Chains A and B, each alone.
Chain A
Amino acid sequence: RKEVEQDPGPFNVPEGATVAFNCTYSNSASQSFFWYRQDCRKEPKLLMSVYSSGNEDGRFTAQLNRASQYISLLIRDSKLSDSATYLCVEMDSSYKLIFGSGTRLLVRP
């Protein structure tokens, strides 16, 4: 069974903190990975794609480790607006998305 596993959290951090999430995937054949953000009772929204070389978008850095089959997301200088659930997502060989259960982040003032 193809699974994406994440620590559900919640991660409770103060504003300005750096926080990191990891997730693992089981399907070694998958080629594409993403981090989505989901606010309470809203749709998932793409945060960033994840590449083996690592990619950065402002305060967010994503990394893929194919050998260990894990994906990471680093958020620097956390803002209150970063509070959300972060979904680790794998695109399988048939191009459907397989979602992790999500990691909740709470950023406190």
Chain B
Amino acid sequence: EPEVTQTPSHQVTQMGQEVILRCVPISNHLYFYWYRQILGQKVEFLVSFYNNEISEKSEIFDDQFSVERPDGSNFTLKIRSTKLEDSAMYFCASSELVEDNEQFFGPGTRLTVL
């Protein structure tokens, strides 16, 4: 069964450092998303991406964040200068269609900012 994969599973970084979280969406999917979940809190939408551009971003997704689809398979989330409050689980998701369709989630990357 096809699945979304994410690497690394756990990333530890120092405050102020740049991190890149990687995702490989399901191959025939066209819509890609990043969500995050701070420990003990709800899953929050960060950004959606379609046709090589951002469709929508939340207020969390400020200038420190960027997304890219550098090739035909990877979808990355970059945080330029990490803050302590960026520590969270980051989930990538993809869907084949956009409306009324299941978004498949990857296993997540746990980001710890020290």
Contacts and interface: CB of A to CB of B under 8 A. Distances in A.
A95 B98 contact: yes
Given A44-B43, A44-B91, A95 B105 contact: no
Contact of A101 (B42, B55, B56, B99): B42
A43 B41 contact: no
A23 B43 CA distance: 16
Q: Is the interface of B mostly helix, strand, loop or mixed?
A: strand
Interface residues of B, number: 25
A59 interface: no
A43 B50 CA distance: 22
Interface in B49-102: 55-56, 58, 89, 91, 98-100, 102
Contacts of B102: 34, 46, 49
Interface size class of A (residues with CB under 8 A): 20 to 34
A31 B48 CA distance: 18
B35 A42 contact: no
A91 B45 CA distance: 11
Contact of B35 (A91, A94, A97): A97
A60 interface: no
A83 to B, nearest CB: 18
A101 B41 contact: yes
B56 A97 contact: no
B25 interface: no
Nearest to B102: A46
Contacts of B55: 94-95
B107 A43 contact: yes
A43 B42 contact: no
Given A43-B106, A43-B107, 11 more contacts: A32-B100, A41-B89, A42-B108, A44-B43, A44-B105, A46-B104, A94-B55, A96-B58, A98-B45, A99-B42, A101-B42
Interface of A: 31-32, 34, 38, 41-46, 49, 87, 91, 94-102
